[in-house]
């Protein structure tokens, strides 16, 4: 079990762990930055996409997109050139290196 899985399970699941971020003054009781990092790791491991996530196509498209909306299995994705609705199963979370480079890197 990964650290992200352990942390999420200790809160009673992903939605409950995410809800902690909305509690006023939660930073007094929890390491909020650490929790945000574990939530992101969990989303990457379990292919969960949320608004603001950076994603890349699993195919040959080299663009990095930002998730604008999520509705069921579809997401509105945006980058400098495109703003369109795509099926999210065709995408994966972008790595830090891809986000820095601004494009999908081969071999990942």
Bridge partners (DSSP) listed for residue 56: 64, 92
The whole-angstrom separation of Cα 76 and Cα 69 is 5
Predicted pLDDT of residue 104: 92
The model carries a pTM of 0.81
The whole-angstrom separation of Cα 4 and Cα 37 is 8
Per-residue pLDDT tens listing for the chain (108 residues): 788 888 899 889 999 999 988 888 877 877 888 888 999 999 999 999 999 999 999 987 889 999 999 998 899 999 888 899 999 999 999 999 999 999 999 765
The whole-angstrom separation of Cα 61 and Cα 95 is 15
74-78 vs 54-57, strand pairing mode = unpaired
Predicted pLDDT of residue 107: 62
In the chain, where the domains are located: 3-46, 54-101
């Amino acid at each position: 079990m990964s650290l992200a899985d352990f942390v999420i399970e200790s809160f009673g699941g992903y939605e409950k762990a995410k809800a902690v971020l909305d509690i006023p003054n939660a930073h007094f009781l929890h390491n909020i930055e650490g929790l945000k990092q574990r939530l992101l790791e969990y989303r990457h491991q379990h292919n969960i996409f949320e608004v603001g996530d950076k994603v890349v196509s699993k195919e040959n498209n080299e663009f990095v997109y930002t998730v604008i909306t999520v509705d069921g299995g579809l997401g509105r994705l945006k980058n400098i050139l495109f703003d369109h609705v795509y099926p999210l199963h065709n995408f994966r979370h972008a790595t830090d290196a891809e986000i820095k480079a601004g494009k999908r890197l081969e071999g990942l």
